[in-house]
Structure 1
Amino acid sequence: MLKKNQRFANFRLPKQGLSPALSASARNIVLNLWNASRWELVIACLAFFLGVAPALAAEAAASDVNPADPLAAKPADDFWTRPNLLGDMGGLRTALGNGGVTLGLTETSEVLHNANGGLKRGSAYHGLTTLTLGLDTEKAFGWQGGNVNVSALNIHGRPLSPAYLGSLQSASGIEANAGTRLWELWYQQKILDDKMDVRVGQQSIDQEFMVSQYAGAFVNASFGWPALPSYDMPAGGPAYPLSSLGLRLRARPTESVTLLGGVYDGNPAGTNVGDPQAANRHGTNFNLHNRALYIAEIQYAVNQPLPAGQADSVAKDAAVRTGLPGTYKLGVWYNSQQFADQRYGSDSLSLADPASNNNPASLKGNYSVYAVVDQMVWRQAEDGPRALGVFARLMTAPGDRNLIGLSANVGVTLTAPFKGRDNDTVGVGLAYAKVGKNVRGLDRDFGINRVRSSETVLEATYQYQATPWWQLQGDVQYIRNPAAGQNPKDATQRLGNEMVWGLRTNITF
C-alpha cells in the first residue's frame, strides 16, 4: 500500500556534479523537500522554478557539449540529468530489469485557487501517487510477447471543483475521492509477428481510446477524459480512477493504420446508486453483470518516425523525414444498458409536470461518435526540438438520454519555446461542453429554473522541465458560464464566471 507521506530518510545528494555556485542552494532545497508538508512542497517547487532551475539552465547553456540542450551537458548518471530521482536505487532497477520487472513510481501534486465566481473563492491541494509494476514474460521465464501490468493509486488532498467551482468540467484531471485503490491489472500478448496484440483484465480505457497527444499537456480534466463520456457513460466509464474487466484487440494492418476494439463491463462501479467511486472504493469490484460497453477506433498516422533499426528505403526515408507527423482517429462506443430519458417519464409526461409519475422513461442503449486530430504544423529544424502542434477532438451523443450532447477540445502547443528550454511546452486550449436537448427542455418545463446551455474553458499552461524527473507546471483557466448556466445548489440562479490558477509538480521516482 502506498503511503501518503512517504519519506526517504536515508537519501543523500551527490557530492559531485554541481558547480560551487549551485551546490549549497540546490542541496538545501532538495533536502528540505523530504521533510516538507505537501503545501511546503509546492512552495519549494516554486522556489526552484524561480531560482535554482534557471541557474542550472544557464550553467548548462555555457557548456561546450551542446548549449541548446542543458540536459545533455552533464553525465547520464548525474543527479540532475538521470531519468528518475532515485536513479538505479543501488542496482535494484537493473537487477529487476534483467528479470523482466519494471517499477514505476510517480507523484503529481498541485495547488489550485479559484479567484473569482463559482461557488466560493478559495484554494485546495490535491495529489496523486501512482505505482506501476510491469513484467516482461520473455525475460522472466521465456514466454515470448507477453506483458503483465498492475497499477495502484493513492489519491490525497481535496479537489477544488466540487467545493469551489461547481463546474461541469473539473479543473484538474487528477480530481477524485481520496483513498488507495487498484487501478489496472491486465495481461497483454503479441501475436502474428507483433502485428496484433490482445489485452485482457481490469483496464482503464482512457489510456488507449479517445487520446489526444497534444491535449495531454493541459490540466483541466476535459483535455484528458472529456466531459461527454464522463457524464454519459455509467459511473463515468472505465476511466481514471476506475477501470473495468474487459478484452481489447489491437491490429496494425499497415504501418500507418492501427485498429483498436474492446468490450468491457458496462459499469465500473457495479451500481447506478450513489457515488461510483465510493461504490468501488478499492477498485476491486471485478464486475461482469452490468451489460457491456463496446468501443472501436481506427487510427491513421502520417510521417511517423521509423522504428529504431529499421532499414530505410530512399523514398520512405524522404517521406518520413521531411513530412510533419500527425495522427487522425475516428471512433464509436455503445453501451447496452438501459438509460433514463432526461425529460419525459414512462407516462410520456414531462418530469416537471405535477401529474407525472416521476419515473423517467427507459431507453435502450447509449452511444457516441468521436474524432481526434493531432498534427504538427511547424518545425523549426528537421532534427530540432522546437515545433508547433495543434489538436482537435469532437464527440456527440443522443440528446434525449444524456446530460452532455456534445463536447469539443481544440488547442495549440509549442515545444522548446525558448533557447535552452528544449523540453518545455507552452500551450493554449479550449474545452467546450453542451448540454443535451432534453435536459434543456426539462429546465424550460420547470419554468423557474435557469435553462442550461453550455460551458467553455479557456486554459493557458506552461510545463517547465526542471530535470528529466521533475516537472513544474503553471496553469491559468477561465471558465465561462460554469455548470452551463445553472447553479447546482440553486437551479434558479447562475454561477459567476471563474478564474482558476495554480501550480502543479510531477516527480518521477
Structure 2
Amino acid sequence: MKKPCKRVLMLAATPVRLGALIALGVAHSAFAQSAPASTGLWDRATLFGDMGGVRPWLDNHGVTFGLQETSEYLNNLSGGVHRGGAYDGLTEMSVGVDTQKAFGLPGGIFNVSALQIHGTSITQRNLQAVQAVSGVEAEAGTRLWELWYQQSFASGKADVKIGQQSVDQEFMVSEYAGAFMNATFGWPVLPSMDMPAGGPAYPLSSLGARLRLTPTNAWTVLAGVFDGSPAGSGSGNGDVQRLNAHGTNFNLHDGALFIGEVQYALNAPDSNAPDAKQSGLPGTYKLGFWYNTQHFADQRYDSNGLPLADSASTGVAQSHRGDYGFYAGADQMIWRPSADSPQALGVFARVMGAPGDRNLVDLAVNAGVTLKAPFKGRDNDVAGLAVGYAKIGSHAQGFASDTATFTPGYPARSAETVLEATYQVQIAPWWQVQADFQYVFRPGGGVPDPQNSARRVGDEAVVGVRTVVAF
C-alpha cells in the first residue's frame, strides 16, 4: 500500500488506537490488492465488488469510496471486576479524492472519514486494565473522524497534510505489532494514558498540520503540530470522548501537541523499480518525540507539597507545565525461504518513556513475533505472539503507597503486563476472521478492586474473536 493515504486507497486500513486493527487492515489491503481482478465472490477485493460499475466509474473521476465493518466478541474467563463477555463493533466509511484525476491538480489528495461505533467496552466494564484488550472499543456513537487535504511537492519527495487528523495513522506505527488485538500494539498505552483525552488518536482527531520529507528511499522524516486536546475542555460525564461526541468541535483552544519522527528503512525497495526483488530482508527503524504545552496534574502531591492521600491535603494537585515523551521502534523481517515466498517471520519492538511525576504510565515496552503463511496453502494467514508492559509512573506508585498509610491493606501499584497469542484467517480478500487469547498480569499495575479496596483486581484471561468485512 502506498504511503500517502492508507484509507483512501483501501478502507481496510482502519484506526490504530484500534491498535491491532490498523495493521490487520493493512494486511487485508495488501492481500486484496494482490488478488486477481474477478467478479467471483471469493476472489473479489470487496464483498460488493465493482458495484455494477460504480466503483470503476468513480475511480476514473478520482473518487475512492470505502466501507468496512469490524465486529468482535471478547470474554474474560477469570479475574477482573466482573466476568463475562461483551460485543463491540465499528463501521468505518471513507471517501478519498485524487485531485489530479478529479480537477487536474497534481499531487493532491482529499480525505474524509466517519465512524459508527457500537457495543460495549469490556476493558472498562470488566477489566480495569490500562492496556485495553481491544483497539476497537470506544464510546458508542457516530462521529466524523478525519477531514484533511494533502499536497505533495518537490517531485514527490515531500508532502504536507492540513486538517482534522488522527496521528496514530502515521506516528508510532508498527507494521508487525498491528496484527494483534490489544490496543497497546497500535496506539501505545503510554500516549493513550498520558496525553489529554488519549491524544489525537482513534476515535478522536485534532486540527493540525503534518510535513513529511522522503529525501531517499531509506529515510523519512515526519513532523506535525496539532491541537493539544482533541476532546476539548469541560466535563465529559465520565468519558472524555463525550466532550467531542460527534467529532465536529474543531478545537484550537487547548495548547499544542508537537510530534516528530525519523524513520530508516533497511533494504528498502527502489521506488524507480518497485517490482525488483529485494536482496536483503526489509526492516524499519524509528525514533520520535512528542511535547504537549498544556498543564498537567501531579500524580502524588498537592499544591502545597503534601501527599494528595493525606487528609490535610488541599485536594488540588501540583501543576506541571508541559509534558513530553520519547520513543523508539523497530520492525524487522528475520526469515523467509526465498525472495518470492509468501512465508515470512517478522519481529517488532517499541519502547517509550515520559516523566513519572505527571503521568500515569512512565515506561512502556512491547515486543512480539509474527509468522505469515504458517501453513501450506494458507499464504495470507498470520500467527503471532506478543507481550506488552506498562510501568505505573513513580508518583502514581507513591500515591498508592501514601494511601496504604491511611488505608491499611490498600494494594501497591507497579506495572501491568499483557501476553497475547493470535491467529488471523484470510477467508477471502474481503473477509478476515481472527481468534485471540490474552492474559493480563496485575491489571492496572495493581489497581484496587472497587468491591474490596484491600485487594487488587485479579489477573485476567480473555478470549475473543474478530471478523472484518470490506464492502
TM-score, normalization by structure 2:
0.90
Residue deviations 1:64-123 (CA, integer Å, cap 9, x gap) = xxxxx9x99987332101100000000000110011000011010001111111011101
Is the 8 Å Cα contact of residues 234 and 243 (structure 2) preserved in structure 1? no
> Which structure has more strand as a fraction of its residues?
2
Matched, 1:287 2:287: no
Alignment match, 1:438: 395
Matched, 1:129 2:87: no
When structure 1 is superposed on structure 2, of 434-443 and 489-498 the one drifting more is 489-498
Is the 8 Å Cα contact of residues 474 and 503 (structure 1) preserved in structure 2? yes
Matched, 1:81 2:43: yes
Alignment match, 2:27: none
Residue deviations 1:336-382 (CA, integer Å, cap 9, x gap) = 00001111111111111222111111111000000010000001111
Residue deviations 1:8-37 (CA, integer Å, cap 9, x gap) = xxxxxxxxxxxxxxxxxxxxxxxxxxxxxx
Matched, 1:322 2:322: no
Residue deviations 1:110-162 (CA, integer Å, cap 9, x gap) = 01111111011101111000001000010001011100000000001112111
Alignment match, 1:468: 429
Matched, 1:304 2:268: yes
Query: By how many angstroms is 1:427 displaced?
Result: 0.1
Alignment match, 2:241: 277
- Secondary structure at the counterpart of residue 285 of structure 1: coil
The percentage of aligned residue pairs carrying the same residue is 58
Is the 8 Å Cα contact of residues 229 and 237 (structure 1) preserved in structure 2? yes
Gap regions ≥5 residues in structure 2: 1-30
Is the 8 Å Cα contact of residues 137 and 147 (structure 1) preserved in structure 2? yes
Cα distance in 2, alignment partners of residues 146 and 86 from structure 1: 28
**Do the aligned partners of residues 296 and 72 (structure 1) sit closer, same or farther apart at CA in structure 2, a change above 3 Å counting?**
closer
Cα distance in 2, alignment partners of residues 503 and 188 from structure 1: 36
Is the 8 Å Cα contact of residues 107 and 507 (structure 1) preserved in structure 2? yes
Alignment match, 1:179: 141
Alignment match, 1:364: 321
When structure 1 is superposed on structure 2, of 163-172 and 229-238 the one drifting more is 163-172
Residue deviations 1:311-350 (CA, integer Å, cap 9, x gap) = 97xxxxxxx7220000000000000000011111111111
- Picking from 383, 401, 417, the partner of 1:456 is 417
Alignment match, 2:177: 215
Gap regions ≥5 residues in structure 1: 1-68, 313-319
Cα distance in 1, alignment partners of residues 274 and 344 from structure 2: 25
Matched, 1:348 2:314: no
Is the 8 Å Cα contact of residues 248 and 260 (structure 1) preserved in structure 2? yes
Cα distance in 1, alignment partners of residues 464 and 37 from structure 2: 33
Cα distance in 2, alignment partners of residues 249 and 162 from structure 1: 36
When structure 1 is superposed on structure 2, of 81-90 and 273-282 the one drifting more is 273-282
- Secondary structure at the counterpart of residue 406 of structure 1: strand
What aligned pairs does 1:224-243 form with structure 2 within 5 A after superposition? 224-243=186-205
Counterpart of 1:338, as a letter, is: H
Cα distance in 1, alignment partners of residues 36 and 351 from structure 2: 43
Residue deviations 1:209-239 (CA, integer Å, cap 9, x gap) = 0000000000011111111001100000000
Alignment match, 1:110: 72
Cα distance in 2, alignment partners of residues 240 and 487 from structure 1: 28
Query: By how many angstroms is 1:265 displaced?
Result: 0.2
Query: By how many angstroms is 1:486 displaced?
Result: 1.8
Larger Rg: 1
Matched, 1:189 2:151: yes
When structure 1 is superposed on structure 2, of 191-200 and 320-329 the one drifting more is 320-329
Alignment match, 1:400: 357
Is the 8 Å Cα contact of residues 235 and 272 (structure 1) preserved in structure 2? no
Counterpart of 1:457, as a letter, is: V
Query: By how many angstroms is 1:488 displaced?
Result: 5.4
Cα distance in 2, alignment partners of residues 130 and 179 from structure 1: 12
Counterpart of 1:386, as a letter, is: Q
When structure 1 is superposed on structure 2, of 439-448 and 97-106 the one drifting more is 439-448
Give the aligned CA root-mean-square deviation in angstroms. 1.8
- Secondary structure at the counterpart of residue 448 of structure 2: coil
Matched, 1:91 2:48: no
TM-score, normalization by structure 1:
0.83
- Secondary structure at the counterpart of residue 402 of structure 2: helix
Counterpart of 1:255, as a letter, is: N
Residue deviations 1:148-198 (CA, integer Å, cap 9, x gap) = 000000001112111111111111000101110000000000011101000
Paired residues, what number? 434
Cα distance in 1, alignment partners of residues 370 and 400 from structure 2: 38
Query: By how many angstroms is 1:492 displaced?
Result: 2.9
Is the 8 Å Cα contact of residues 234 and 272 (structure 1) preserved in structure 2? no
Is the 8 Å Cα contact of residues 166 and 487 (structure 1) preserved in structure 2? no
- Picking from 353, 364, 372, the partner of 1:415 is 372
Alignment match, 2:381: 424
Cα distance in 2, alignment partners of residues 368 and 491 from structure 1: 32
Is the 8 Å Cα contact of residues 108 and 150 (structure 2) preserved in structure 1? yes
> Which structure has more helix as a fraction of its residues?
1
